[in-house]
Amino acid sequence: MRVKETQKHLTRLTVLLLMALAAASQALPGCQDSCGSVSSIPYPFGIGNSSVTGHNCFQEKELELTCRNSTLYRGQGNAQIINISLAGKIDMLMFISKVCKNESQGNRPSLRSPAFTISSEDNKFVSVGCDTYGYLNSFRNGTTSSTGCLTRCDSLESVESMQRSGNCPGIGCCQVDIPPGMKNISLRAYSFNNFNSTSDFNKCGYSFVVKNGNYSFSVDHLKGINFTMAPMVMDWSVGNDTCDASMHTADYACKSANSSCENSPNEYGYRCKCNPGFEGNPYLLHGCQDFPECTRNKHNCDSEDHCIETSGSFECFCPDGLIGNGTKEGGGCHPKQKADPFIKIVIDAGVGLIALFIGVSWLYLMYQKRKVLKLKEKFFQQNGGIILRQQLSTREDSSQSATIFSAEQLKKATNNFDESLIIGKGGYGTVFKGLLSNNKVVAIKKSKIVDQSQVEQFINEVIILSQINHRNVVKLLGCCLEIEVPLLVYEFVNNGTLFDYLHNQGEVVNVSWKTRLRIATETAAALSYLHSAASIPIIHRDVKTANILLDETYTAKVSDFGASRLVPLDQTEIATIVQGTFGYLDPEYMQSSQLTEKSDVYSFGVVLVELLTGEKPFCFDRAEEKRSLTVHFLCSLKEDRLFDVLQVGILDEENKQELMEVAILAARCLRLTGEERPSMKEVAMELEGIKLIEKHPWINTGKNFEEGQYLLHEAQSSHEHGDSSSAQQNTGYDSLRALELIDFGNGR
């Protein structure tokens, strides 16, 4: 407490010094701070240039003042300044408008400045006379608005009967409120009949703006007013833009560290003010000083002696020997009393109960923590974590092994699986965008609950997929198994899916044929790798454009292995429950439930057709004969109408042959019998060959469409000698079975 008392005495000295500084000039150094009866001219207003720096004593041209013959004026004009307030008000004198006998209108005083707006709450517009009406005009944003009033009377008696104690009765004198926001003002008095009817007692009329309380009407004023100017109040602001737009500019006016900015209520510029607890001139660098609440009795302490100044506020305290919080509301300060033994017992018992509560709470938290750990261990074992750990420990190349992430790591990476971070949903789980602690962006897939009978196969798939290192396959980085729903962590591919790029970008052809061909080639290479080059062959089982991701260079990456199956080396097909996406499913697989690599080939053929046509595989919005894209495509190919179904904008003279060759390849992939389809390795090689021809057209100089025609003819022949019953396995139509030799010469 003694420290506080010492601090209080130091604070009082500081307050006295700050009060002396506050009483000092409100102008910039070296600038005139008074003129005649105006004892304080605060910056941002100013007169001339500083004798110290040579710079302007005012913030901007609109706030320049002139001192002539001990009278303060605005700029070089004749508007006389009476007082300036840092609260955004300025009192000045403005000429009145006077119209007399044989005149239809009086003089027109005006004040033009965007920085000044007539204060609607501090002024009234007044007209005096018995044949008089007046207008107050405002010019703003190229438009004019006006207010005003009129007064007519035939005799002094009619005015005297209504006029009481200086009020403006409406006859002989009228007044109106001033609308807000009036600037660039002018006023003028007018006469109806040039005072012919009232010339005996009223020869002139008057209109003027006057500050509230500064004018009292008298009947004698109908004979003449003895003043030519009236005091009025204007609102002022600095700058010509808002606070947000101005605070980063070089001429920002709120210089003080303890100041803030507020937009002008008149929609032009802004004003500065000291923060709560501070006072002074916010337009000066050190203008806002701490307000001395204690010495000015602006506190709630029970005594000034128990008040100490703080930056922008104050604190109440009790000195040594006294207890309490020092505030009036809190009972102030009072002497210490010896503790009652009963109270001491109660306090000791309370402390004991608190200690007991803390102890029980700690034990409960420890129990809950152990319970959570056991639950994590249970899920880890249940989801095959022990098997995975054993498998990883036997791997020689640990750099290619899957990482086992903790649940806390992935919760932190996804902000506790915030729904705003969801980047995809599918039949096999939800995918979140995440940021690991090493700042690596990943895709985290929350899978459906794993069938316990398939745990070992699930773990084997994780191990195999994590070892796949192909530039066109999304890399599996690891998994988390210590929660009920396993989490898989993949590399993040940031440019969406091929489906979105083909169908969700409006009607504009957004992917060139060259890019489409490259994406098809890269996808075929990835599937060929999975079928042929992986340590254990992998059938994807859900090949579609929605599972082909694109990076920033539009490189294709095959993703979503939720439906994938590993193929034992001694088997060529697997019996499974049919899974996949309608429109891409292999018809043979749908009937037999026998999954083979050729099922992926069929689905890839649908992807090729999607790339050629820009259409979705199945759509009820299309005509009935066009709802199935593959049926419509194959039918058009048979009828020599290939170019009719291509997406508008991708066909040109240079790629006509490539389009036909890719279309023929797609038709081969879509054969109903899997044995008649090419392998993915053959598909990838053919697409690479088409790309090579595109890159080096001279390689195929002598080649025409005969090879494509031969392939179609061969396909036709082989189907005509097949089992006719298979023609009814796919909506009753096998387009290749009846495909005739096509002459592509005219592209029709």
Binding-site residues from annotation for ATP: 446
Q: Which two tokens stand for residue 281?
A: 């001139």
Q: Cβ of 290: how many Cβ atoms within 10 Å?
A: 22
| Separation CA 234–CA 245 (nearest Å) | 24
CA distances from 528 to 195, 537, 569 (A): 106, 10, 16
Q: Residue 565: left if φ>0, alpha if ψ -120 to 50, beta else—which one? A: beta
State the chain's maximal CA–CA distance in angstroms.
Answer: 128
Contact 149/176 with Cβ under 8 angstroms?
Answer: yes
Is residue 617 helix, strand or coil?
A: coil
Contact 146/135 with Cβ under 8 angstroms?
Answer: yes
Contact 404/386 with Cβ under 8 angstroms?
Answer: no
Q: Please pick, among 33, 131, 302, 542, the residue that the annotation labels catalytic.
A: 542
Query: Residue ranges of the alpha helices (H) in 242-309?
Result: 243-246
State the distance between the two ends of the chain, measured CA to CA, in whole angstroms.
Answer: 100
Annotated binding site: 446
Q: What are the strands, taking DSSP E only, across 237-332?
A: 259-263, 270-274, 278-280, 288-290, 307-310, 313-316, 322-324
Is residue 525 helix, strand or coil?
A: helix
H or E segment to which residue 13 belongs: helix 2-23
| Separation CA 636–CA 621 (nearest Å) | 19
Q: Name the residue among 527, 385, 547, 530 with its Cα closest to residue 465.
A: 530
With tokens 């006719």, the residue in question is 724
| Separation CA 598–CA 677 (nearest Å) | 7
| Separation CA 301–CA 310 (nearest Å) | 14
Which 8-state DSSP code applies to residue 627? S
Which 8-state DSSP code applies to residue 84? E
- Write out the DSSP string of 190-249: EESSTTSSSTTT--EEEEEEEETTS----GGGGT--S-SEEEEEEEE-BSSS-HHHHTTS
| Separation CA 672–CA 733 (nearest Å) | 10
Q: Name the residue among 432, 38, 62, 15 with its Cα closest to residue 238.
A: 62
With tokens 């992430």, the residue in question is 405
Contact 735/635 with Cβ under 8 angstroms?
Answer: yes
Give catalytic status of residue 235 as yes or no: no
Rounded to the nearest 10°, the torsion over CA 403, 419, 422, 386 is: 20
H or E segment to which residue 522 belongs: helix 513-528
- Write out the DSSP string of 429-456: EEEEEEE-TTS-EEEEEEEPPPPGGGHH
SS (HEC) of 326-363: CECCCCCEEECCCCCHHHHHHHHHHHHHHHHHHHHHHH
| Separation CA 58–CA 618 (nearest Å) | 74
- Write out the DSSP string of 90-149: EEEEEEPEEEETT-SB----EE--TTEEE-TTTEEEEEESSEEEEEEEEEETTEEEEEEE
Contact 596/602 with Cβ under 8 angstroms?
Answer: no
Contact 498/603 with Cβ under 8 angstroms?
Answer: no
Active site residues: 542
